[in-house]
Amino acid sequence: MKARADEGLLRAAGQATAIFYGIDPQALESGVAVALPGDRAAKVILYGLQAPPEGQRYTLAARGPDGTLTPLRDVPVGGDGSAFLLARDIPERTAALELVLRDASLGPVGGEPEAGGKGQAGAGAPPGSPISLEGATPRVAARYPAEDERGVLTQAPAVQARRAAR
């Protein structure tokens, strides 16, 4: 049943497409999110991903209007530095999707990514899990559309970089 639902989301054209913009001045990552807010989902394509620093992992998170970050799922980095993932269960009133680097010792979110960036192996914590993103380093962000927005969202989301303590 879930596979059919995922297939429907993957076939959908989406309601709006948003561009990921750098929030960290050192960020090399970029990408797009094809949003399906009625389904609380997004198809995310990322480029320019580097191997995360030792002890860290990339995670896609939803930023609410109050600034809180909710982890959605870990990002599988392919050998070519790209990633594709389907993010589900995006919280209502999400303002932006953000790619963050976080502490890997906290465990996986939304399924452990396989090496090579293909598939969705492992169980992992479910999206919206209590894994803390405190101290995570935001890399890039894309605005998430409101229910009535359509088209290409070219403006950067209103977010501020929060650097992890080093």
Would residue 73 count as lying in a domain? yes
Q: What is the pLDDT of residues 3-38, one digit of tens each?
A: 666 777 777 767 788 999 999 998 999 999 999 888
What total number of domains does the chain contain?
Answer: 1
Would residue 141 count as lying in a domain? yes
Would residue 163 count as lying in a domain? no
Would residue 90 count as lying in a domain? yes
Would residue 113 count as lying in a domain? yes
Mean pLDDT of 83-96: 93
pTM: 0.81
The predicted pLDDT at position 153 comes to 80
Q: What is the pLDDT of residues 112-148, one digit of tens each?
A: 444 444 433 334 556 555 678 888 999 999 999 888 8
The predicted pLDDT at position 119 comes to 38
Structural domain boundaries enclosing 14: 2-148
Would residue 110 count as lying in a domain? yes
Residue 163 reports pLDDT greater than 50: no
Would residue 34 count as lying in a domain? yes
Enclosing H/E stretch for 85: strand 83-87
The predicted pLDDT at position 130 comes to 63
Would residue 161 count as lying in a domain? no
Among 87, 89, 122, 129, CA closest to 106: 129
The predicted pLDDT at position 164 comes to 45
